[in-house]
Chains A and B, each alone.
Chain A
Amino acid sequence: MIRKFIAGILTAAMVMGLTACGQSADASGQTSASAGGKTIRVAIWDNNQLKGLQQIADKWGQENGYKVEFDVLGWDSYWTMLEAGVSGGEMPDVFWMHSANALKFENSGVLLPLNDYIEKDDAIDMDNYFEGITDLYTKDGVYYAIPKDHDTIAVVYNKKIFDKYGVDYPDDNWTWEDFADAAMTISQKGADDGIYGTYCNVGNDQDTWYNIVYSYGGKVISDDKKSSGYDDPKTIEAMKFVANKIIPACPPQDAMASTGGDTMFFSGLIGMLCQGSWVVNNFYTADNASDYAWAMLPYADVNDDGKCEKEERCSIYNGLGWSIYAQTKNPDAAWSLISALGSKEGQTEQSELGITMSSYKGLSDSFINAYKGMDISAFVKIEDEETLVFKPYSKSAGIWEPDVEDILVSAWTNPGTMEEVLAKCAETMNTTIAEE
C-alpha cells in the first residue's frame, strides 16, 4: 500500500515535471512569439563592434518599438552556427555576411532577396557604396545584403622601440624592402630583449602578405575566380620576398603559433605590424597607446624607378554586409533595421563612433576624426591615392583559404621551400575550386 502510494507520488511528480517543462516551453514559445514581433535577433562575430552597433540599433529600436538582441560568436563558431541554424531552422533575423562564405549563401534560399525593399526605400541606394562590396553581395541582379563597412590596411608601429634601436619611423615613401630592412634591424638589435621587428604568421593574409602579393603584381585567384594565382610568377616572387625578408624578421614560427601578433605588440615586443582598420580601437584604447603611430602600407618598387606608381601600393579591402534570414518572422522590421544601419545617417554614425570605416562612400574622414589624439589618416590616404584590391574570394574561399594557410606553415618554418609549397597551395586550391 505504502509502496503504491510512494509510486503514485513519484509518478505524479514526474508527470508534473514533464508538463511543467512542456508549459514553460509553451510559455517561452508564446512570449517569443508575441514579443517575437518585438525582438530582432542579430548575430555578429566581432565583440569590438558590439557596443557601438548596439547603440545605433537601440536608437532604431526605440523609434520602432523593438528590442535588438546581439549574439557575438567567434569567427569559426559563427559560421558553424549559421550552417546548423539553416538546417535546424533556428536562425538570427539579421546577421553579417562576409566574402569567405557569401557566394555559398547567395542563391541558397537562406538570404532574403532585398530588391523590392531597396526599391521602396528612399534611404538606400546601392550606388552609394563601394563597388567591390556591392558586387560581392549581388548575384544575378539580386541583392542579398546591404554593405555594412569597408576596411583598409596600414602599418602601426611602436615609437619607443624605433627610438630605442635608432631606426627611422616608417614613412609614406617606404618600399616593402625598407620595411623588411627596418624590421630586421630591430630584430637583430632587440634579440637580447626578446623584441622583434614585425610579425607575420600564415594567418596574417588579409592584413599583411596578401597586400605584398598584390603590390608585386601577383594575385591569389584569377580574375574569373576559376583558378589559383599561387603559381603566378609574380605571386611566387612576392612570396619569396616574404620568405627571405619578412619571415626572418619575425619571431620564430613556433612563437607565432603560440602567441598572437597583437598580444605581442601590446606587450611592447613587436616594432611594427600591418593591421586592418577594423582593429584600430584596440590600439587606440591600449595601455601604451601614446607610443603607437600609423603609417601607410609600403609599396613595391617593381619597375625600380624609385617612385611609387599607383598599382605598386595595394591595400586589400573587404566589406561586410547586413543580411536577413529568408524565413524570418519579421522581414519588414529586419529590413527597417538594416536600412537604418545602411542609410547615410547610420553609416555616418558608424564612422563617427569609430566602429569601422563605412561602406558608404565619402564618410571615411569622420572615422579618422573619431580617434582624437591618434592620427589614423593612413587608412584613408591609401584609398584616396593608391590602389584598393578586393579581398580575393570565390564560392569555396571558406575552404581553400584555411587549407592554403595550413600548407604554408611548412614554408614559414622552412622559408627556403616557399616555391614548392606554393605549387602545392595552387594544386589544392585548384582542386577545391574545380569542385565548386
Chain B
Amino acid sequence: MSARKRSESIWGLLFVLPTIIGLLVLNYYPIVQIVYQSFCKTGDFGLGNVFIGFGNYAKLFKDPEVYRCLWNSIKYSVLSIPLTLLIPLVLAVLLNKKIKFRDFYRTVYFLPMVCAPAAVAMVWKWMYNQDYGLLNHLLGRKISWVTDPKIAMLSVVVVGVWSAIGNNMILFLGGLQEIPKDYYEAAQIDGCTGVKAFFHITVPLISPMLFFVLQTGIIGALQLFDLPFMIMDNSSRAWPSVKTITYLFYEYAFEKSNRGYGSAIVMFTMAVIGVITIILQKSEKKWVCYD
C-alpha cells in the first residue's frame, strides 16, 4: 500500500468511525445481549439472570399466542405490501408526467411522511371511532372499524398504506427519472405506448427499485408495532386478531418484564424475517434487471 493510499484509508476510517462506534454500541451490543438473554430466565431489573439453555425456545414453540401473533404480522404484510407497491408506482408514473399542479400533488402525497406516526395514529383512531368518529359520521353507519375482528386488521392496513405511500412514491419517482427517454421514443416508433410501454419498459427498468421497496417493506411490515398499539385499545375484542409479534415481544420484555422470553420471541421473529429475505434474494435474479 502506498503512503497516499494508507493515508486515505486512515482518514476514511476516521470519518466512518463515529458511525461504526454508534452501530457497535447501539446495534451490535444489544444483539449480542438479546441472543444471550434469550437463553436465560431473566431476573427483575436485569439482575440475576439464570442460564436455562433452550428453555425459552421450548416454551415459545408450544405457545399458540406466538403463532397467532406471527400470523397477524404476516397477514398485515400480505395485505399491505401489494398496495404499498402498486399505489405509489401508479402515482409516481402519473406524477412523472408534465401535468398541472404536479408539485402540489407531489407535496400532498408526501405529506403523511412528514407527520409523526404517533400523531397520525391518534387522528385515525379518532376517525375510526365507532360512535363519534368522522368516518361513520360521513357514512351514516355504525361500522366497528377497530373493534370488529373481521375488519380491524384492514383498518390498520389502510393507515399503514396511507403512511407509506409518500415515501415509496418518492423512491419510485427517483427510479423513473433514471430511465432514459430514448427507450420510450424507440418504443413509440415500434408502436408501443401507454400501458404496454409501462409494462415492457417502465416495470423492468424500475425493478431494482421495486425490489428494494419490496424487501424493506416486508421487513418493516413484519416488525409492525406502533399502529395497532396506538390505534387500538387492549380491551377491544379485535385485539387478539391484530396483536403483532413485535407487540408480543414488547409485552413480555417491558410490560411483564420477562426479558428472556421476550428475547426468544424477537430471535424467532428475526429468523423468520431472515428466511423470507433469503428467499427474496434468491428470487432476485429471476425478475430484477440491472442494466
A interface residues, Cβ below 8 angstroms from B: 7, 11, 14, 18, 76, 79-80, 83, 86-87, 104, 108-110, 194, 201-203, 251, 253-259, 398-399, 402, 405-406, 409-410, 412-413
Contact = CB atoms under 8 A, between A and B. Distances in A.
Q: Which size class do B's interface residues fall under?
A: 20 to 34
Nearest to B251: A402
B44 A258 contact: no
Contact of B237 (A87, A253, A402): A253
B194 to A, nearest CB: 46
B11 A87 contact: no
A399 B256 CA distance: 6
Contacts of A201: 235
B131 A108 contact: no
B217 to A, nearest CB: 29
A200 B132 CA distance: 19
Given A87-B45, A108-B47, A402 B236 contact: no
Given A83-B45, A110-B45, A409-B237, A258 B146 contact: yes
B226 interface: no
20 contacts: A11-B11, A11-B14, A14-B15, A80-B255, A83-B254, A83-B257, A104-B257, A108-B45, A109-B47, A253-B235, A254-B144, A254-B147, A255-B130, A257-B147, A257-B233, A257-B236, A258-B147, A402-B255, A406-B234, A410-B237
Nearest to A403: B256
A257 B235 contact: yes
Given A86-B47, A254-B237, A258-B233, 9 more contacts: A14-B15, A76-B255, A87-B47, A254-B236, A258-B128, A258-B129, A259-B129, A259-B131, A409-B236
Nearest to B45: A86
Nearest to A253: B237
B235 A202 contact: yes
A7 B11 contact: yes
A270 to B, nearest CB: 12
* Most A CB within 10 A of own CB, among B14, B45, B147, B235: B235
A110 B14 CA distance: 41
A413 to B, nearest CB: 5
B46 A87 contact: yes
Contacts of B131: 194, 251, 255, 258-259
Contacts of B15: 14
* Most A CB within 10 A of own CB, among B15, B128, B130: B130
Nearest to B144: A254
B12 to A, nearest CB: 11
Contacts of A87: 45-47
Contacts of B257: 83, 104, 398
Contacts of B256: 398-399
Contacts of B44: 104, 108
Given A104-B44, A108-B44, A254 B148 contact: yes
B149 to A, nearest CB: 10
A399 B262 CA distance: 14
The 4 closest A-B pairs by CB, nearest first: A87-B46, A254-B147, A257-B236, A86-B45
Interface in B248-280: 254-257
B172 interface: no
Contacts of B148: 254
Nearest to B147: A254
A80 B250 CA distance: 10
